[in-house]
Structure 1
Amino acid sequence: MAGNSIAFARNYTSVIDEVYQRASVSGCLNSGRRMVRAGRSAKEIMIPKISVTGLGDYTRNVGYKTGAITYEFETKTFNYDRGIRLFADVMDVEEAGVADCFVEAGAELQRTQVAPEADAFTFAQIAGHAGVTVDEADFSAADAADVLAELRAVTSAMDEAQVTAGSRYLFVTPTLKGVLDDYSLANPARSNRVLERFARIVEVPQVRFCTAIELKSGDAEFGYARAAGARDINFMVVEKSAVIKFDKHVASRVFSPDELESLDSYMMKYRKYGIVELLDNKLDGVRVSAAPGA
């Protein structure tokens, strides 16, 4: 069957020849649904924004000054709708002796396609959001002291902007994280305490870590690719509550040949519909360091 890649084999073992890939690294930013309301259309969600007036003088003959609570909703639109269906001819499956191939194929799809694309989309959406500060820094030949100084400047700016400290995440490439680790080991007397300013440090492979991506339509190519003009991200600091990230709908199902009218094949389909956005009043909680443009 055209497009089928199941290899015929006389026998096989329980050891699967898998592609090296990390699972999702951006899942720690997933949002809860508790405060999200449906919008005016199925494509929209409404995020609550609350503000209160400050204090005034209390006088004994008049009492309290009168202020106000403002409770509004910020409307955001779902921006991620991706899916695929995969076929395997029933004879290919039977003759290859891998009747449970869709169990392995489903895991392979998640690890090698869904997770990397979701990560790349998340970081590109955050870096490309209007109002997000993207600092230019060439760390290709920099030492750890330069990186630590940049991180200190970022955390200081967030501290001065009163960004919540307890839920800040540092996303950084494995290469820069290795530079920092080696520095700390070789220079135990030198301060690297800025790294303690993050709730968690997450390593992101560079291939998933750039300022813009292109989602392929599936007409000629599948998956995603680095967009023209995109820059490598060195690191990203994100305060979790600044991000709206969740999946409204995820569908995954395997169909047997009896359920398909025109094909004697197994079919697996997968769809993911969700959103990655930022709250407009929490942009101080996001900072990005990226390499210079070409």
Structure 2
Amino acid sequence: MNNIELATKYLPLLDEVYKEASKTSILEGDEVTVKKGSNGEIKIAKLDMDGLGDFSRNDGYTKGSTSFVWETVKYDKERSQDLRIDRLDNDEALETPFAKLSGEFIRTKVVPETDAARIAKICSTEGITTKAEKLSNGSEVVSALRACSNTMDELEVPTESRILFITPTLRASIDDLDTTQSRAVLSKFSSIIEVPQTRMYTAITLNDGTTNYGYKKAEGQYVKTKDTDIVKDKKYYTESGGIYSEVSSPTKSALNTYYELVGVGKNVNFLCVEKSAAVCAIDQYIKYFSPDQDQQGDSHVFKYRNNNLYAHCYENKLAGIYCSYVE
């Protein structure tokens, strides 16, 4: 079996592993909504139309318009890894260790990062509904979900395609109630997907692989405030020697010396997405090189690469996204 045949054989299997393990693959577009472009671009189908107008017995129908366009957007990120199995460590047939190595890599590294990046991008989209709240028990979770469903109902977001991403702990707190009320609120969502808290943040940092790999909850950064007056309950900081200290009693006269901490990742309680409100896409590639071709060692080399559109949220469908997070 040559190198190309091996890569061709395993890529569909890796795609299967990815789709089974991913919590957010339900948001991925198909050929009807997503087309691959070139130069790091991807085309997203966008449909919009005018509403009703008066019918005139003299002039007939109002002349509205329907717009179906392919909107070109940039991929968010390219990620990669170089996976190796030493020749002498690989006593079995190549397929067995590669299947285990690549499958585990997809399940434990690629999928969690991709889920986390997608959720973070959707949650940080301007214009969606967000609510900061600490949910301590099942009753509070039910009330929060009721507020979400009521908001979407009032905005006429279709019930039959609302996807709820929620942490296992919060889902369990609802199940433990086992009441008519708890069952009723869950019926307002077409799909309920449990996502570990480690993938549910409003912002993440993707490590570049020079010193650290994977991702982590975003720690944020300090930037000079642009406020012209003190904002009530907002935290301001002063800087001295690279150390930032919170200002206990901020004053307007000192505003030009203050900093704000922005971009901090916060724990997401749940995220509701109506399926047509956002779309995701991922392209995955692998290459294989035998130990005789390995120029850096004596290993079987499997190079993995992906290209991601973590999420594109349609500006005319933002009513279909609701994020509850812990302040």
**TM-score interval, normalised by the smaller of the two chains:** 0.7 to 0.9
Equivalent residue, structure 2, for 1:101: 97
Which residue, out of 77, 80, 83, partners 2:80? 83
Q: Deviations over 1:64-108 (max 9, x none)?
A: 3333333444332100211101222212323xx575322110111
Structure 1 residues 111 and 153, CA, compared in 2 at 3 Å: closer, same or farther? same
Q: Does 1:259 align with 2:293?
A: yes
Q: In the comparison of the two structures, how many residue pairs are matched? A: 262
Match of 1:67 in 2: 64
Choose the corresponding residue for 1:204, options 183, 195, 200. 195
The answer to whether the aligner puts 1:278 opposite 2:278 as a matched pair is no
* Cα 1:262/1:244, change in 2 over 3 Å: same
Structure 2 distance, partners of 1:53, 1:119, is: 35
Residue 155 (structure 1) aligned to one of 146, 149, 153? 149
Whole-angstrom distance in 2 between the partners of 1:105 and 1:175: 30
The alpha-carbon distance between structure 1 residues 145 and 55, as it changes in their structure 2 partners (threshold 3 A), is same
Q: How does 1:128-143 map to 2 (within 5 A)?
A: 128-139=124-135, 142-143=136-137
Contact 2:175 2:182 in 1 (8 A): no
Q: Are positions 1:244 and 2:235 aligned together?
A: no
1:189 Cα shift? Answer: 5.1
3-state SS of paired residue (2:141): helix
- CA distance in 1 between counterparts of 2:182 and 2:120 reads 32
Q: Is the 8 A contact 2:81 2:304 kept in 1?
A: yes
Match of 1:176 in 2: 170
User: How many Å separate the matches in 2 of 1:23 and 1:66?
Assistant: 48
Counterpart residue number, 2:183: 192
Q: Report the Cα offset of residue 132 of structure 1.
A: 2.4
| SS of residue in 2 equivalent to 1:258 | coil
Secondary structure of the corresponding residue to residue 197 of structure 1: coil
Q: 1:51 to 1:265 in 2, by over 3 A?
A: closer
Shift of 1:190: 4.5
How far residue 26 of structure 1 moved from its aligned partner, in angstroms, is 1.3
Give the match for residue 112 of structure 2. Answer: 116
Q: Which runs of 5+ in 1 are unaligned?
A: 1-21
Q: CA separation in 2, counterparts of 1:207 and 1:37?
A: 31
Following TM superposition, the consecutive aligned residue runs of length 4 or more in structure 1 with deviations greater than 4 angstroms are none
Q: State the Cα deviation string for residues 214-270 of structure 1 (Å, max 9, x = none).
A: 1111111111111102111111111111112012x3112332113334532210111
Report if the CA contact (8 A) 1:148-1:192 is conserved.
no
Paired AA for residue 119 in structure 2:
F
TM-score by length of structure 1 reads 0.82
- CA–CA distance in structure 2, aligned partners of residues 92 and 70 of structure 1: 59
State the partner residue of 1:232: 267
* Contact 1:135/1:289, CA 8 A, preserved across alignment: yes
Deviation string, structure 1 residues 114-170 (Cα, Å, up to 9, x no partner): 11111111111111122222211111xx32222111111111111111112111111
Tell me, in whole angstroms, the C-alpha distance in 1 between the residues paired with 2:325 and 2:59: 56
Closer/same/farther in 2, CA of residues 27 and 72 from structure 1, 3 Å limit: closer
User: Residue type of the partner of 1:81?
Assistant: E
- State whether residues 85 and 270 of structure 1, in contact with CA within 8 Å, keep that contact through their aligned partners in structure 2: yes
Q: Tell me the residue number matched to 1:17.
A: none
Whether 2:317 is the aligned partner of 1:288: answer no
Secondary structure of the residue aligned to 2:53 is coil
Deviations 1:2-36 (Å, cap 9, x if unpaired)? xxxxxxxxxxxxxxxxxxxx922111111113233
* 1:234 alignment partner AA: N
SS of 1:198's partner is: coil
State TM-score, norm by structure 2: 0.74
User: SS at 2:158's partner residue?
Assistant: coil
Please report the RMSD computed on the Cα atoms of aligned residues, expressed in angstroms. 2.1
Measure, in 2, the Cα distance between the counterparts of 1:267 and 1:35. 35
SS in 1 for 2:126: coil
Q: 3-state DSSP class of the match of 1:93? A: coil
Distance change >3 Å, CA 202–CA 36, structure 1 → 2:
closer
Cα distance in structure 2, aligned partners of 1:189 and 1:212: 35
Distance between the aligned counterparts of 1:42 and 1:76, measured in 2? 11
Residues 267 and 326, structure 2, Cα contact 8 Å, conserved in 1: yes
Give me the whole-angstrom Cα distance separating, in 1, the residues matched to 2:128 and 2:180. Answer: 35
Unaligned runs of 5+ in 2: 1-19, 220-263
